[in-house]
């Protein structure tokens, strides 16, 4: 995995978004125009939603892959891991769920708890591993914080609905 600087990251993000965006916008524009000419407004709104979610996925993917390749971030995360008593083991390909529900693969630094210098050593895994940068960004089980928060809100709403229903009956 080749690390890059912050300034390279900014220009890389812009370039990686700009190239496919112009092609996708042109295709979506033609599709929306054709649908509107035929009078199918529902299909036009669906095409717009598809374009919007595609763009959101593209931005997330480019942002995460470039962030996980930035030299400064990687050195900072190693220092933080050392302070937490963890060491970098490898870069693992993992799937992350984005706000639109799309899953993408990224390479994430994986840390494990450092073994003790003295005393008896534990055997087995004991769930010692962590994707430290994802945890710091607020990801919950490799899911973007927005999705996890919406799921919690929805479960509270549903529980409240059933409580009201039981109360009224």
What does the pLDDT profile of the chain (169 residues) look like in tens digits?
A: 555 655 566 777 778 888 888 888 888 888 888 888 887 777 777 888 888 888 888 888 888 888 888 888 888 889 998 898 888 888 889 998 888 888 999 898 999 887 766 666 666 555 667 888 888 887 877 777 676 566 666 667 777 666 666 666 5
Could you tell me if 103 and 95 are in contact, meaning their C-beta atoms sit under 8 angstroms apart? Answer: yes
Give a yes or no: residue 44 inside a domain: yes
pLDDT for residue 122: 60
Domain that holds residue 102: 6-116+126-168
Supply the pTM of this predicted model: 0.67
Our count of domains for the chain comes to 1
Flag whether 121 is in a domain.
Answer: no
- Give phi and psi for 34, each to the nearest 5: -60, -40
Helix, strand or coil for residue 143? strand
Q: Are 31 and 47 in contact (CB under 8 A)?
A: yes
Report the Cα 115 to chain-centroid distance in Å.
30
């Amino acid at each position: 995995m080749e690390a890059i600087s912050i300034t390279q990251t900014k220009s890389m993000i812009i370039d990686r978004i700009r190239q496919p965006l112009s092609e996708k916008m042109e295709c979506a524009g033609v599709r929306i125009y054709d649908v509107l000419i035929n009078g199918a407004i529902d299909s036009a709104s669906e095409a717009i939603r598809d374009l919007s979610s595609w763009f959101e996925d593209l931005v997330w993917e480019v942002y995460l892959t470039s962030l996980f390749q930035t030299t400064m971030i990687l050195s900072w995360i190693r220092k933080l891991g050392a302070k937490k008593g963890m060491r970098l083991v490898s870069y693992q390909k993992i799937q992350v769920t984005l706000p639109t529900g799309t899953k993408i693969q990224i390479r994430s630094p994986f840390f494990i708890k450092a073994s003790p210098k003295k005393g008896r050593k534990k055997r087995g895994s004991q769930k010692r591993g962590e994707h430290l940068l994802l945890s710091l960004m607020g990801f919950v089980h490799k899911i973007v914080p927005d999705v996890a928060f919406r799921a919690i809100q929805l479960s509270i709403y549903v529980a409240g609905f059933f409580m009201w229903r039981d109360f009224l009956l």
